[in-house]
Structure 1
Amino acid sequence: MKISHYVFAAAAGASLTLSLAPFDWWWIAIFAMAALAACLNTTTAKQGFMRAWCFGSASFATGVSWVYIAMHDFGETPAMLAVPMTAIFCIGLGLIPALFGYCYSRWIRDGIAGKTLGFAALWVIFEWLRGWIFTGFPWLYLGYGHLHTPMGGWSPVIGVYGLSFWVALSGAALALCLTAPTALKPYGYSTLAACLALFGLGFSLQKHEWTLAVDTPPLRIGAVQSNISQEKKWAYTHYWATLEQYDLASEELWPDSDLVIWPEAAIPALYHNALSYFDYIAERAQANNSALITGVPTRFEEDMYNSVMVISGGEGIYHKQRLVPFGEYVPLSHYIRGLIKFFDLPMSSFTRGGSDQGHLNVKGWQLAASICYEIAYPDLIADSARNSDLLFTISNDAWFGHSIGPDQHMQMAQMRALENGRELIRVTSTGITAIVDHHGNIRTRISSFEAGNLKGIVHARSGTTPFTRFGSTPIIILCGALVICAGFLRRSNPA
C-alpha cells in the first residue's frame, strides 16, 4: 500500500471546496475528479473504498469546517470535544464517497463506458443519495461551481445534479487523456470534446427565457437584517431589545414597501406567547397598507414547528419540512440529551412539517416558501415553485460564524432561482440578505454581519422550466441506466 496514493486522493478532495463559493474556481473540481478517477482506475475494490474515503473526508473537512464553529462557538462544546466530533462528522460523511469508490472499482470500472459515463453517473447517484440519507446533507455538490459559467445555462434543464454529471464526466475524460494507455487515450479525447461541446451550447441556453415576466406591477420589498448574535438571540435579557429593534427597523420600511420580511425565528418566542406584540405590529403594517412575513416558532397541541407566517396583508403559514439534525431535532434524543450542551440547544425539538403545504398568499402573490437549510434541496424547491410567482426563503446563518458557510448557502439559493426561472428573496438574521433575479444573479444585497434594511423590487414570473416540471427524476433515471449498462458492458469491452 502506497501512502502517497491516499495523500494524493485527500489533497484532491480538499481542493474541491475551492470550486465553490466564495472562491468560485470552478475548473478545480474537474481536476479534482480527474485525480479521483486516476486514483481509482488501477485499484482493488478495497483500495477504491479507502482512496475515495480519503477524498470524501478531506472534501468535507475543508468544505464544512463551519460545523466546528456551530459546535464550539455557539453550542458551547469544549474544543477538546468539538474537534473530534467535527472530525467524526466529516469522516462519517466521507463513507458515502467511499461506497462510490468501492462500487466503481468492483462493478463499473472495467470498460471504456465504465471509466467515463459509468464513473460520472455513479457519482451523481451517490450525491443524490446523500441528499436523503438521515434527512440528507445536500452540501458541496459539484454542480454549484457552474452557477455563473456557460454550463449554468443547462441548470433550468438538468438541475444541479446534471451539472455535477458534466463535472464528473469531464474529470473522468481528463484522467483517461493523462493517465490511460495510448490505445485508450482517443476515447478520453472524444469524451472531453463532447463535454466541451456541451459547455459551448450552454452559451445559447443562457440566453433562452424559460419563464415569462407577468404583466403586473412589481412588488416593493423591504427586509430587515438584524445582525443579532446567536449568544443574544435566545437570551431573555435581550428579548425586549430584539422586539424594539425589529419595530424600529420596520418603521423605516413601512411607507415604501408592499411587503416587509423578517428572518427565521426573528422573534425568539413561540407565536402565541408574543401574540400582543404581533397584534401591534400587524396594526402598524395595516396602517401603511403593507404586508409582513416573519419566521417564528409555533406550537399546535403537542407539536412545535419552525414556521414562517403571514402576519398582515395576506394569509398562510409554512412549517419547515427538512429539519437539521442536532440543530432542530436530536436523533436518539432520549439517550444523548444532557450529555453536552450542544445536544440541548434552544429550539432543538421541532416537528417536521407536512409535504402538502400550500404557498403563502401576500397581496395576491403566491410565494413558494422555504426555511434555511431547505433551500439546499433541489426537488423540494422545484415542487413548491410550481404555480408560484416568486421563491422566498428565510434563514438564520449566525450558526456559520465568520466562515465560508454563508457564501455557500447563498450560492445554493441562487442556483434554485436559476433552476426554476423565478426571482428569489432571501432574508437572514446575520446575512446574506439578498434579492436574486431569475438568472441566479444577485440584484441587491446586505453583506454578512451588518445590521440594516434592504429595499428592492421583485417581479412575478409565469411558466415552468423543464427542471421545475420534472425535477431531478430524469437525470437520476438516466444515471441509473448508465450505471446498469456500464456494469453489463464491463466484461465485453475490457480495458
Structure 2
Amino acid sequence: MSVSTVRSLPLIHLALLFAAGALLAISSELPLSGYIHILLLAFVWRVCAKGAEQTLVRLFNQGLIFGLGYFIVALWWIYISLHDVGGMSTLLSSFAVFALAGLMAIYVGLAFGCGLLITNPLWRGLALPSAWVMAEYLRGQLFTGFPWMGLAESQVHGPFIQIAPYLGGLACTFLVVWASWQISLLKIRNALAVLSVIAITQILGMWQFTSPSGSAISVRLIQGNFEQSLKFNPKEILRQIDFYRDTIMKAPADLIIVPETAFPWPEHDLPDQSLEQIQNFANQSGSQVLLGLIGKVSIDEKSFRYSNRVSGFTKDQSRYHYDKYHLVPFGEFIPPGFQWFVDAFKVPMSNFARGSFSQAPFTVLGRDQDPSKARYAAISICYEDIFGNEIVSRLRQSQNPVNLLINVTNLAWFGQSQAPMQQLRLSQLRSIETGLPSLRATNTGITAIIDHRGEVQTALDQFVQGELTGLVQPYAGQTPYVIWGNWPILLASLFLLLSAYLRFRK
C-alpha cells in the first residue's frame, strides 16, 4: 500500500475496517458466529461504500486493511510456536505473524477490489461473492496453500451449512458474502431474498447422501497432554513413549488412536521394543491401533529420509503406513531461501519426505477380524484436514469406499489459544461435506468424536491427560461434493465474475 493511498483514506475509515476484521475473527469463537459474520460483513460493505469515487487500488487497500485485522487476530497463535516454543526473538516472531497475516490479507484485498469495482448493485451482489470464492480458492492453492480461517468454518454454526454436502465450503463462503451484501442495502426485498435462500438451504439439508454401514465401532482416543518443549528432551521423550505404549495396552477396543508424533522418535530406532509390544497386544486382544511416529522412507539403496507417519497395527497382519502428504512449510520442509528463518527457530526441525497423494485407507476390521465386515478410514495428519478438496479427491480415488475420517494432530505448538477450536470446526466441516463421521486424536486437545452431520458427540477437555472412549457409527455413500469437488462453485463463480465485468465494460 502506498503512503499517498493511505493518506487518501480517512483514518477513521481505516480504523473501522481494521476493527471490523478483528471483530470478525473474535466472533468466530461465539455460538452464533455464522450469523454474526454476515452482519459484520454487511457493516463493512456500508463502510466501503462511503467516501470518494472508488478505484481498484483504493478498494484493494480497504480489503488489505480489513484482512490484516482479521488474520492478525485469527493467527496470533503462531507467535506462541515461534517465540514460546521455538525461542525466536519477540521482534522476529511478531514480524512472522504480521507477514503471514499480510500475505493472507492480499487475497481479501483482491476479493474487495475485483468485487466492489462493479457499481451496479445487482451485479455487485454477484461479483463480490464470486471474487471472494476465487480468492479463497487461490489462498488454498498458491505457495502450498493455507486456507485456514475461511468464512465457511463459521457456518458450522450458521444458516448456510446445509449447502456444504452439495457444493462444499466455498459455496458456504459464496452465500455468506452474498447475504451480507443484500443486507447492507437495507431494503426489505433484499432481506426477504436472504430469508428465502436460507429456507431453501434448510430444505436441502433434509436429504441424506450417506447411510449407516454395519455396526458401531468402539474407539479409544488417547490424549497425552505433553508440552511441546518436552519433545526435545531425551528423558521426556522416553516418558512420553512409555505413557502412550502403556495406555494403549491398558484396555482393548475395536480401534485405538494416539496423536501425531506420539512417539517422537524414528520408527526403526525406538527403544524397549515398544512397537513389538503394541503388535503383540493387537494380536492377543484383536484391537487395532493407529500410532503417530517418525517414519523412515527409502530414497535409494544408500539413503533415506524421515516422514511424519501414522502406523496401523492389526492382528497377524503387516503394519499399515500413512505418510503425511501435505507438509507444513518451515515445520516439515524448508522453502528455498528460508534456511535463515529456520536457523532462528531454536528447536530441531525436519525436512520430511512427502507421502504419496493416493495412499490406501486403513482397513478397520474390529475385534471380530471379519474381512466381510471391513470398513475403511481415510487418515490425515495435522493441518491436512483444512484442505477439503484434497480429502474428497482422495475419497473419489480410493479403491475401497471410505466410511470414516481420522485426523491425528499435535497442537501443543500453539499453547492456550483458539487454534484447537479453529481446527475442530474444520473437522466438523469435513464431516458435513463428506457425510462421514470423524475421529480426532490430539496431544493437548481437542480430542473428539464427530458424527456424519458434523455434530460433536463427545470430546475431552483441553490440557488434560486422559482418553476418550465411545462408539462411532461408520457411514457409506458419497455426497455430491465428494463426486464433483469444487468444480461447480468455481465454474459458477468464474462465469458470474466474467459476466459482471462484461456488463461493467458496456
Q: Considering the TM-score relative to the shorter chain, is it more than 0.5? A: yes
Determine which of 383, 398, 418 is the counterpart of 2:432. 418
Q: What is residue 182 of structure 2 aligned with on the other side?
A: 173
- Give unpaired runs (5+ residues) of structure 2: 1-7, 299-303, 366-373
Aligned partners of 1:469 and 1:191: how far apart in 2? 33
**Match status 1:454 vs 2:456:** no
Q: 2:291 aligns with which of 284, 290, 294?
A: 294
AA aligned to 1:95 is I
Match of 2:383 in 1: 373
Which sits farther off after the overlay, 446-455 or 383-392?
Answer: 383-392
CA distances 1:31-60 after superposition (whole Å, capped 9, x unpaired) = 232233334445222211211110001100
Query: What secondary structure, in the 3-state scheme, does the structure 1 residue paired with 2:99 have?
Result: helix
Q: Deviations over 1:180-226 (max 9, x none)?
A: xxxxx5xxx44442222121223333332221112x22211111100
Distance (whole Å) between structure 2 residues aligned to residue 73 and residue 232 of structure 1: 13
Partner Cα distance (2:352, 2:32) in 1: 35
Q: Comparing 27-36 with 402-411, which one deviates more in the overlay?
A: 27-36
The one of 296, 305, 320 equivalent to 2:307 is: 305
State whether residues 144 and 160 of structure 1, in contact with CA within 8 Å, keep that contact through their aligned partners in structure 2. Answer: yes
Whether 1:88 aligns to 2:99 is: yes
Asked if 1:110 corresponds to 2:119, the answer is yes
Find the residue that maps to 2:265 and give its secondary structure.
Answer: coil
Gaps of 5+ in 1: 178-184
Q: Which amino acid aligns with 2:256?
A: V
Relative distance call for 1:22 and 1:247 in structure 2 (3 A) is: farther
Aligned to 1:357: 359
- CA-CA distance at 1:441 after TM superposition: 0.6
| Counterpart residue identity of residue 309, structure 2 | S
Match of 2:344 among 340, 344, 347: 340
Q: 2:71 aligns with which of 41, 51, 60?
A: 60
Q: 1:180 maps to which residue? A: none
> Separation in 1 of the partners of 2:120 and 2:320?
54
Determine which of 466, 490, 495 is the counterpart of 2:504. 490
The equivalent residue for 1:195 is 194
Shift of 1:29: 1.3
Worse-superposed segment, 392-401 or 309-318: 309-318
The equivalent residue for 1:44 is 55
Which of 422, 441, 445 in structure 1 is aligned with 2:455?
441
1:268 aligned counterpart, secondary structure: strand
Please give the residue correspondences for 1:268-279 in structure 2 after superposition, counting only pairs within 5 Å. Answer: 268-274=264-270, 276-279=273-276
Cα drift, residue 312 of structure 1 = 2.8
Matched, 1:331 2:324: no
Partner of 2:415: 401
CA shift at 1:309, angstroms?
A: 1.6
Q: CA deviation at 1:335?
A: 4.1
- Identical amino acids, percent of aligned pairs: 28
Distance (Å, rounded) in 1 between the aligned partners of 2:376 and 2:67: 40
User: In the TM superposition, what is the alpha-carbon distance from 1:148 to its structure 2 partner?
Assistant: 3.5
The amino acid across from 2:75 in the alignment is V
In the alignment, is residue 28 of structure 1 matched against residue 36 of structure 2? Answer: yes
Structure 1 residue 242: Cα displacement:
1.2
More divergent stretch after superposition (381-390 vs 425-434): 381-390
**TM norm structure 2:** 0.89
SS at match of 1:352: coil
Distance change (3 Å), C-alpha of 1:47 and 1:338: closer
Contact 2:358/2:394 (CA < 8 Å) preserved in 1?
Answer: no
TM-score, normalised to structure 1's length?
0.91
Q: Which residue is equivalent to 1:124?
A: 133
Post-superposition offset of 1:452: 0.3
Amino acid at match of 1:258: D
Q: Which residue of 1 aligns with 2:371?
A: none
Tell me, yes or no, if the aligned pair for 2:440 and 2:447 is still in contact at 8 Å: yes
**Bigger shift: residues 134-143 or 191-200:** 191-200
Shift of 1:232: 0.8
Q: Deviations over 1:357-413 (max 9, x none)?
A: 121123122111111101111111212334201111100011121001100000100
The two structures, once aligned, show a CA RMSD in angstroms of: 1.9
Q: Does 1:317 align with 2:321?
A: yes
Is the 8 Å Cα contact of residues 310 and 317 (structure 1) preserved in structure 2? yes
| CA shift for structure 1 position 24 | 4.3
Match of 2:5 in 1: none
Deviations 1:45-90 (A, max 9, x none): 2211211110001100111111111111111112232222222221
1:259 is the counterpart of 2:267:
no
